[in-house]
Every structure is written in structure tokens, then in C-alpha cells.
Structure 1
Amino acid sequence: MKSIIRSRFTIMKKENEQWLVDVKLLEPFERDVLLRLDKLPGDGVNVVKTSMSRTVLHLPQTDDRPGLYLKCHRQRNMRERLLDLLRPSRAEREFNNLLRFEHYALPAPRAIALGQVQRKGEPVRRYLAVEEVTGAKLLPDIIAGKNEQELLALCSDLGKWIAGIHQSGADHRDLQPGNILIRPGEGQERFVLIDLHSLRFDPVMPEHARARALAALAGYLEMAVGMRGFGSFSGAYMKAAHLEFSFAAKLQDAIESARSRRFRSRTARCLVNSSKFIIENSNRRRVYRRRDLHPEALDKITEARNGKSENVTVLSESAGARSKAVRVTLEGKEQIFFVKEFSKPTLAQSLRALFIGPRARREYRAGHGFSVRGISAPEVKACIEGGDFDLLVTEFIENGEQLNNVVHRLFVANRFSGKRDDLKRQRKFIRALADEIRHMHDAGVYHPDLKAKNILVTEEGSTWRFLFVDLADVRFKPPSTRRIIKNLMQLNAGIPYCIGDGLRARFFLRYLRGEKRVERSAMLEEIIRGSSRRVERWRRQIEKAGKRKSP
């Protein structure tokens, strides 16, 4: 690698800047252009990706140089500065790995330049320029335009190519669809690996390391291409790497673990500064909000609570739930938000919040977690903490009704008007509800208060959309059988009487499809017994409350 650097690169220094530049490809290239691009992109320069710590720019090809991708890395906090002192920076690691790939004749873009800008003797900004791979597209873009036979051949070639990469000792550690380019052509030579900052070289990769490395890509192929494409990929990889059939089970376990880690990581992003979310501190209050939410909207919502704003109209308010719909007028446009207010916590609630966080923040995080997992819930907009109250702001679901009201309208209204029940439509509704709850449980989510009042329903043509609310105590962990039974008991006891036993049986059989017959029967018996106990307990509580009110 040192010989490549000596033969291809030259060092350029000026004041607080230092560059390692490819002489042949960038001989007429102006170094100062690189320093300006992330601040003021010039004509023809496209911003490919931007975040709090990195900006990626594309420079089109000219007569003097090839097309380039420029990555600008910034240090966000003291932790990143300390890590850069203990190990090479992300740009340096990727630059070194690109040279290693070039040395071993492995497919990767060509490194062009590496630079850094210092302030008071410490590097605060690093740049990496790589050559553009002409005509290449990302793997997801290629998959979208292929038929089934072409996809099977592509997955097979991809499996053989990755097996060859691993056989050479290269472990990418971030092998995902967005890091694989495909050039025009056929065979394994068309694939190119990018974003090599986390790559490690290990002469011998054990099976568990191979399964971990393949997990993200294999999980994507399983969802995007189907089981046939996934089987073609994994079979070609196992055959090329000379692995036994037991590796398939290890790969499935790694896929589930990788999916859970990805969900947890994406769920927590709403509580840190990022490209989509921001944290603000002012007047002893902390605000978590989406960047696309207008800042003045929160000021007007807070004023609405104090009754000081003319631009806000309170549409509805419930003293028990402490929730209301607020109409905000911004720049001549009217927006409606659903605002949930949490009063000052008690001593016990404050002690609990020390360990698991305030209720408003938990519901804000849970709402984003539902969105990440593809489960329907109102989109969270902001969370305000501090003072005498906490606020949670979410989108307002127009035409949204509680499940109880929809059931009464769908299953009872026709009887009062003298019409016959639409059994086909009722059964379709029951199947859709069962599928949505099964999807939530299969995604590894447990809602401890799954009552009919906590499910909103919107009708979209001939279909329905079910949205879950009151998410403060939601747990993002695969629910046990006991908790699944508890959820189904809550729903069965809370759904109005107008749904008969036949339709209830259809709901449970739809939810439990795929379970063994003996286990399904045992679960149904437990659900029926538990639902009866709940209804009886509610009846006694209502009778006791009535006796207290009577003179």
C-alpha cells in the first residue's frame, strides 16, 4: 500500500490544509474547489446525501478529470474527537481500504484524494474524493427493472461474488443494498463494493461471522425479491464458499437479529440531532421535534393551551384524556394537530421517569418506532418537556373513529334501518383487523393496553386503515404467548356485543392461522375464559360505582 501511495499520490500543503492527491488524474485539478464545495456547491454539483456528520457531493466528468464523489466528514462532538485520536478517522479508513482493494484487484472505486482542514492544530473536517464508476447503479435500482428470471440470475451471481470477496479475507461489516453498485454487463465482474470505512481483513472468516456479514443484504433480498431469489442467493453463496446446509439456519437467525438491531437503532434516532430530528433547549424546557415541523407551530400550540392566541381554535377537548385538536394558521395555510397534555407528574411517576423517561417522551419515541416498523399510528411531530406540563404533538387523523363506533355503525346500523347486514363486508373488516394486529405482533411490538378505544379506524374506499394510539407503555420486544393471549382477551372483551360468536371465531382463526391445531385450541379456550373474567370484573365495578352514587 505504501508503494501505491508513493507512486500515485503527492502531498500538497497550504496553511491549515493538507492533501494527498492523485497526480495523474488530478494534475490540473484545483484543490481549493474541494474546500468550497460542501459550503457553496457550484454549477453542476449535486448534493447526493447530507447528514449531521457527512455530506456527499457528485462532481460530473469534465475534459480535465473524471467524475468524482466527494465525501466531507465533520466532527460533531467530543466523543468523535476522542475516537479519532485512538484510531484513524472514517475518511482515512476508507482511503486505506480502497488502496487495499486496488492492491488485491478487488472491485471498488478508485481513490483520488484525501484531505483535512485543521483548526488550532486539530483536524475538524476531512475530505475523501473517489472516482465515479461510469454507468453503475445501486442494487435496489437494478432490481426494480428486472423480471423474475433475470432476478434469479442476478441473485445467483451476487452470491458467488460475495463468496469470492469473503474468501479473499475482506469482511465489509456494512454489506447492504445501498453499498453495492452494478455496472452494465454480465457475470460477477459487474459488481462494485463502496463505502469501505468499516471493512476489515480476516484471513479466516468463521460461519457466524459470514452469517452476520450477510444478514442485512439477505434480509433485503428476502423482502424485495421473494423466497426464490433469496434461495438462489444463499444457495450460490454456500456452494461457492463450500459451506454445509446448517449455515442456512444460522443465516436466518442472523437476519432476525440484524432486523431487530436496525429497528432499535432507527427508533432511537428521534431522540438525537439528525437530518430529520432536532433537539432544542429554551426557558428550562426541552423540545424534541421533526425538522420539517414549522417552529412557530409549537409556539402557537403552547399559546393555545394558555388561551392567548387568536390563530388557534380548540376543536375538542377531553378533561379525562387531556387531549385536544388544535387548528393552527401559518403563512395563510391551516394545519390541524392532535395535542396530548400530560400534567405535572406525581412523586411515584417522577421516580419511574428517572429509569424509563417521561410519558410524553416515551409516546413520542414509540410513535416513531411504529413508523419505522411499518405499523400504522399517527405520525409524531414534537414532544415538549419541562415545567408544569408536557405536550405530545401528533398528526390529526381526519375522519378517524374509535373501533367501538365503527363496529356499531357497520354491524348494527342496518338493523335499525330495516336493511340486511352486508356479511361479506363485515367478514372483510374482521379479517383486516386480525391481519393488522398479527402484523404488529409479528413485528415484535407489544401494546399492553390494546382496547377498542385505542384503535382508530379510517375508511379508505373499500378498505380500512387501523391506527394504534396511547403508545406510552408499548414494548418493542417480541411478545410471549401469554402477552399475545392478554392482548386478544383485551380486544375480545372490549369489542361491543353486536359482533356475534361466529364473527369472533373468524377473527381468532384468522389471527392464529399457521399455528398448530392443539396450540390454537388451547389459546382459544384461554382467551374465552379470560374475556369472561374481564367482563364480569367490569360489571362488578360498574355496579359498585352505581351504589356509591345512589343516595
Structure 2
Amino acid sequence: MVDGSIRMKETTPARTTTSPDEGFDPVGIRWHFLSDEGRTWLEQFETGRAHACPIKTAVRRWVYRFAPGIYVKQVSYQGLRALGKSLAGGNACREGANFQQLERRGIAVAEVLAYGSERHFGVLKRDVLITKEVAAEHSLWQFMQDVYPALEPQTKRRLASALADFVRQLHDRGVIQRDLHVDNLLVCQMDGDYRFVLLDAQRISLRKRSLSRTQRLLNLAVLLCNFWRLASTAQCLRFLRDYGLSWNGAQGRSHLYVIKRLALKLSRHSWDAHARRALGNNARFIAERRDGFTIHRTRRDDVDEMLGALLSDPDRLLDQGKTDGNRTIGAVQVKLDGPWTFLQGYRYQGWRSRLWNARHGGRARRVWLNLWSLRTRHVPVPEPLLCMDRQCFRLPERCYLVSEYVADARPLSSCWQDLDATQRRDALIHLGMELGRMHRFGGIHGQLTWNNLLLTFVDARPQITLVGLDAARMLATASPLRCLLDIRLFLHDLDDRDPDGSHRRLFLDIWNRWSR
């Protein structure tokens, strides 16, 4: 490696601008750390624009992959943020320094080749981190989705034990990873054993001694936020046991209660923040006013074309389809310059209804927000595409909602007779898991009849989609009584088709396990 006094002086001649379209350009960067391998790669790099594959592109952050197996992270700064980072230090350089400290503490991390920054008249403009690719097949997120469900129970236990050992090693060596999620961990399999590598070290705090009990519980809660959808409660308990926590006795139950409460609190905060983005202008959504309508829609070209076709006369499209018999809701399958979609129109009955909705927001807007709240919780609901609300003197008149049309799926009430015993059992188990997770996260369907459950089989596996969510609610905290009331219509339809009660017992057993 290069001596520290020389590293600070190594600078490539200055250049004028940096933009994401230019790709990575090392010109003008002063390298704070530069290994021999990093120096060799930069000498071979020349312009830095050939054979680059963008991995992640954001407003001020880009990640590129270069052959052979080199990753470059580049972060740019402007305005007041540039002044603040000039004093506190850039994100990429801080992450590179954290990687080096973690490596000295014996933590498996990506190998750092170089990191440096570029300043204009003392103001930080950008910084760069160059790392070497880790020989691993999956991130933990991909592994849990694609590989984990098919593993044998013994292999799952070995994986949980290896992950618990890795997290305990972090805590014993004084490492607090505030962004400890499954996409920042790589899974490596060697001779039947699993090994984990930490990929992101930007939001890391290092302590001189091992973490306290409170710090460990909080960090375990951050990790548990990632496994609501990927693992059952029993598997999470097995992980905590392998980590070293016991749930026997009053102290063990207290630790489990604290971890679960903190994890749900952190998760709900993140879910609600992501769902509220659907009401604003950002990289994914658009909020605008056009032709007297307040419009919320996803930022897609096909949705823009749908909006143009819908604005002309939405009531005419509703009249062309079949309604569901509700006096205040009209629903129809339409094709708006693209694929088939599901259009719903909401009417207000009298002044009392209009005044109440003026205070609480339009019906379509509430359904729009509830759908995105459920989707952020990974509940299987159709993707909402477009929401339109017309007001007169701040009183709502008509509102419309366009969502994706679920093709090749049938209501559970119509396809139940066509299923064999194995398919019925699999469908009930999957339903118990999905509805249990929804209720655990505070979601209430409101009209949970079999007509509002669409079932299809993909590779012999049941897939459920919840529809008819006009009465859905999102609770601040899960209420056992509200959850039981929510499934009463489902159980009523199940009892009509289950004379001996075996299916009811199976569903309630799975639902109770996943709703806690």
C-alpha cells in the first residue's frame, strides 16, 4: 500500500463538471487511500467510461460495476449539503474508512481498493469509493426469496445459526449497523456452511467495547424488520435463541416483547413514510391538478396515456361496464390505451356524506393511500395506478380510482369446488399466512368475503390477491378484537363449505401463528 503522506498528495488533474450521464471519471480526485491493486486498476482505466454497467442511479448517488469485478460508488454534493459535508466528510470516504476499521476488527467486508474526494476551493463536490467484488451468488434478500423456501429444515437451522453468529460477532466487537437490512448482506456457501459479508458500512457506529443489552435489542429489532415477510415467528425465535437470547422466564419474555414492539414501531414508521410518498411529487409519483381534478398517479408513460383517455368522460366509461350493484360505487373493467385496468367511481349520497369526506379526504384518495400502505407491507393487493378527485368549493363531487386488472384469477367462491383436497389445504395455509401478516401490521380489510379473494396457482403454488378494499383501514396498533371481526365473513363462507370444521381449525391455527 501507498504511504499515508503520499496518498494525501496524489491528485489527478482537475476537470470541470461531473454528471451521471458521463459515468465515473477519476479526473480531479484526491485519493485519501490507494492500494497497489487500486493504483494498477486506475492506470488501466484511462477514461473510465468504457465497459461500465450502472447498478444504481439516484439523484446524487451512482454505483457502477466495471470488469473484472470492480465496484465504484460515487456521491455528489450541491448547495448547503456540500458545505455541511465539507466539514463532516463525504459519505463514500467515510464508508471506505469504516470498511477498513471493520476489517481490522475481523468482520467480513468488501475489500477496499481506493477512496478519495474532489473539492473546489475547499468545498466538497463529490467523493468516490472503489471496492472489489465479493464472490457470492446472492444477497440475503434474494436468497430468502428464491432459495430459502426450498431448503430442508436442517439447512434452514444452519443458516439461522450462521446469521446469528455473524450478528453476535458484530455486537461483541462494538459495531452498530443502523442500516442492518437483508440487502446489505451477502450469503456465501462454502463446504455446506454459510458465511455472511457486510456490503454497506455508511451508517455504522464503532464502540471501543461490546454493545450493551439495550443496544443489542435495538439493533436486533432493526434486523427483524426485514423478516416480517420472509420468515415465520418460529424461525425468528430460533434465530434469537441461536444469538443467545432465551425466551424462558420473565426476563426472556420481556426481551422478546421489547424486540417485537421496537421492530413493529420502526417498520410502521418506514411503511407509512413510503406510503405517504404516493400523495406527493417525487421520483415515483406525480400530484397535479388538471381539468378541475386533483390527480395522484404513478410516474409511468402508460399511466399518462390512461389519464388522457379518462379525463374526457370518465362517467361514460363507467356506464359502459357492469356495476357491482352498490349505490355509491361503480366498477368496470376497461382498456385505457394499454392493458386492461379496473376503474372504480365513487358517488356521494347527500350533503352529510360530502361534508364528512371533505374533512377526511375523498373516498378514492383514502382507498389510494390504503392500497399503497398495504403494498408497502407486502400485502398482495392490486397496484393502484391513478386517483382523480373533483371538488366544488372544497366539497367533493365525484372521484375515480384506476388499478391494475388481475388476470387469470378467479374468486375463491367460484373456484373452490374445482380444487382437490391438496389444493384446498395449500390455499387455506397461504390465506392464513397472508391475512395473519396483514392483521399483525395493522391492516383491516373490511369486506373479507370469498368474492374479494382472487386465487390462482403459479407453479402449483397458490397466489392470493385481495380486492374490494373500499372499506379498508390502517390501524396505528393491531387490535385482536378488530382482527377477529375482520375475518368473521371469511369464516362464515368457510363454514358453509366445511361441514366437519377441519378446514376452519387449519385456517385459524395458521392465522393465529402469523398474526401474533
**What CA deviation, in whole Å up to 9, does each residue of 1:308-361 have, x standing for no partner?**
x9xx9943457731433322344xxxx221122346999877876687544323
Q: Rg: which structure is higher?
A: 1
| Contact kept? 2:343, 2:403, Cα under 8 Å | yes
Cα 1:221–1:130 change in 2 (3 A) is same
Equivalences for 1:480-491 in 2 at 5 Å?
Answer: 480-488=479-487
1:50 aligns to 2:57 (yes or no): yes
Residue of structure 1 equivalent to 2:30: 20
Contact 1:16 1:118 in 2 (8 A): no
The equivalent of 2:370 in structure 1 is 366
Matched ranges for 1:111-260 at <5 A? 111-115=112-116, 125-134=126-135, 137-140=138-141, 144=147, 147-183=152-188, 185=190, 190-202=195-207, 203=209, 205-218=211-224, 230=236, 233-238=239-244, 245=252, 247-248=255-256, 250-260=258-268
- SS for the counterpart of 2:310 is helix
Do structure 1's residue 450 and structure 2's residue 447 form an aligned pair? yes
SS in 2 for 1:160: helix
Residue 301 (structure 1) shift: 2.4
Residue in 2 that maps onto 1:96: 97
Q: Deviations over 1:86-131 (max 9, x none)?
A: 8544324313322433454543223334455679986565433223
- Over 3 Å counting, the alpha-carbon distance change for 1:479 and 1:156 in structure 2 is closer
Any idea what SS the aligned residue of 2:370 has? Answer: helix
Rounded Cα–Cα distance in structure 2 between residues aligned with 1:234 and 1:4: 44
Q: Distance in 2 between matches of 1:81 and 1:105?
A: 33
Could you list the per-position Cα deviations for residues 120-161 of structure 1 after superposition, in whole angstroms to 9, with x for gaps in the alignment? 986565433223234575335667386544543443343233
Q: Is 424-433 or 228-237 further displaced after alignment?
A: 424-433
Q: Assess, with a 3 A threshold, how the Cα gap between structure 1 residues 337 and 213 changes in structure 2: closer, same or farther.
A: same
Q: Aligned partners of 1:154, 1:499: CA distance in 2, in Å?
A: 40
Identity over aligned residues, as a percent? 18
Per the alignment, residue 523 of structure 1 pairs with none
Q: How does 1:323-338 map to 2 (within 5 A)?
A: 323-330=331-338, 335-338=339-342
Q: Is the 8 A contact 2:305 2:337 kept in 1?
A: no
The residue number in structure 1 matching 2:73 is 71
Aligned partner letter, 2:199 = I
The separation in 1 between residues aligned to 2:43 and 2:315, in whole angstroms, is 56
Aligned residue pair count: 476
Measured in 1, the distance between the counterparts of 2:374 and 2:92 equals: 34
1:363 offset after TM fit, Å? 1.4
- Any unmatched runs of 5+ in structure 1? 62-66, 412-420, 517-551
Q: Aligned in 2, Cα 1:382/1:71: closer, same or farther, shift over 3 Å?
A: farther
Gaps spanning 5+ residues in structure 2: where?
A: 18-27, 392-396
Which letter does structure 1 place at the counterpart of 2:212?
A: P
- TM-score, normalising length from structure 2? 0.71
The secondary structure found in structure 2 opposite 1:205 is: coil
Distance in 1 separating the partners of 2:337 and 2:74 = 39
Which of 392, 401, 426 in structure 1 is aligned with 2:401? 392
- 1:362–1:472 Cα contact (<8 Å) kept: no
Q: Is the 8 A contact 1:117 1:123 kept in 2?
A: yes
Residues 279 and 287 of structure 2 are in contact (CA less than 8 Å); yes or no, is this contact kept in structure 1? no
Aligned mates of 1:187, 1:8 — CA distance in 2: 42
Q: What amino acid maps onto 1:281 in structure 2? A: E
* Aligned AA (1:60): A
Contact 1:339–1:393 (CA under 8 A) maintained in structure 2: yes
Q: Report the Cα distance in structure 2 between the residues aligned to 1:200 and 1:292, rounded to whole angstroms.
A: 42
SS of equivalent to 1:482? helix
Change (3 A) 1:53 1:453: farther
User: For the Cα contact (< 8 Å) 2:158–2:193, is it kept in 1?
Assistant: no
Question: How far is the alpha carbon of 1:289 from its aligned partner?
Answer: 1.0
Q: For 2:77 and 2:300, locate their aligned partners in 1 and report how far apart those are by CA, in whole Å.
A: 21
The verdict on how the C-alpha distance between 1:68 and 1:384 changes in structure 2, with shifts beyond 3 A counting, is farther
Cα 1:153–1:5 change in 2 (3 A) is farther
Secondary structure of 2:37's partner? coil
- The one-letter code of the counterpart of 1:14 is A
CA distance in 2, matches of 1:95, 1:365: 39
Q: 1:430 to 1:120 in 2, by over 3 A?
A: same
Q: Per the alignment, do residues 86 and 316 of structure 1 end up closer, same or farther by CA in structure 2, a change over 3 Å counting?
A: farther
> 1:226-260, CA deviations, whole angstroms, 9 ceiling, x for partnerless residues?
678656643443289xxx85645544444444444
Q: Distance in 2 between matches of 1:340 and 1:121?
A: 57
Check whether the contact 1:57–1:69 (CA below 8 A) recurs between aligned residues.
yes
Q: Check conservation: 2:447, 2:471, Cα contact below 8 A.
A: no
* SS of equivalent to 1:361: helix
1:187 and 1:425 map into 2 onto residues whose CA distance is 33
Give the Cα–Cα distance (whole angstroms) in 1 for the partners of residues 44 and 312 of structure 2.
49
Q: 1:324 is matched by which residue type in structure 2?
A: V
- Asked whether the equivalents of residues 264 and 441 of structure 2 are also in contact (C-alpha less than 8 Å), the reply is no
Structure-2 separation of matches of 1:476 and 1:31:
58
Listed one character per residue, the Cα deviations across residues 430-477 of structure 1 (whole Å, up to 9, x for unaligned) are 957973655532443123x32649725456699784523233652144
Aligned mates of 2:289, 2:302 — CA distance in 1: 17
Residues 117 and 315 of structure 1, relative CA distance in 2, 3 Å threshold? farther
* Paired amino acid for 2:468: V
Query: Partners in 2 of 1:410 and 1:46 — Cα distance?
Result: 48
CA contact (8 A) 1:47 1:57 kept: yes
Cα distance in structure 2, aligned partners of 1:426 and 1:155: 30
Give, in angstroms, the shift of residue 197 of structure 1: 0.8
Q: If the length of structure 1 is used for normalisation, what is the TM-score?
A: 0.67
- Cα separation, partners in 2 of 1:483 and 1:8, compared to 1, 3 Å: same
> Once the 2 structures are TM-superposed, how far is the Cα of residue 191 of structure 1 from its aligned partner?
3.6
- Say if 2:387 and 2:400, in contact at 8 Å, map to a contact too: yes
- Structure 1 residues 56, 82: CA separation in 2 closer, same or farther (over 3 Å shift)? same
Question: Aligned in 2, Cα 1:85/1:321: closer, same or farther, shift over 3 Å?
Answer: farther
1:266-297, Cα deviation, whole Å (9 max, x unpaired): 4345445666x232536475432153744212
Conserved 8 A contact 1:327-1:336? yes
In 2, the alpha carbon distance for the partners of 1:16 and 1:424 equals 69
SS in 1 for 2:39: coil
Match of 1:60 in 2: 67
AA aligned opposite 2:71: Y
What is the rounded CA distance, in whole Å, between the counterparts of 1:91 and 1:383 in structure 2? 39
Counterpart residue identity of residue 335, structure 2: R
Structure 1 contact 110–130 (Cα < 8 Å) conserved: yes
Matches of 1:123 and 1:288, distance apart in 2: 37
Report if the CA contact (8 A) 1:339-1:394 is conserved: yes
* 1:297 is aligned to 2:306: yes
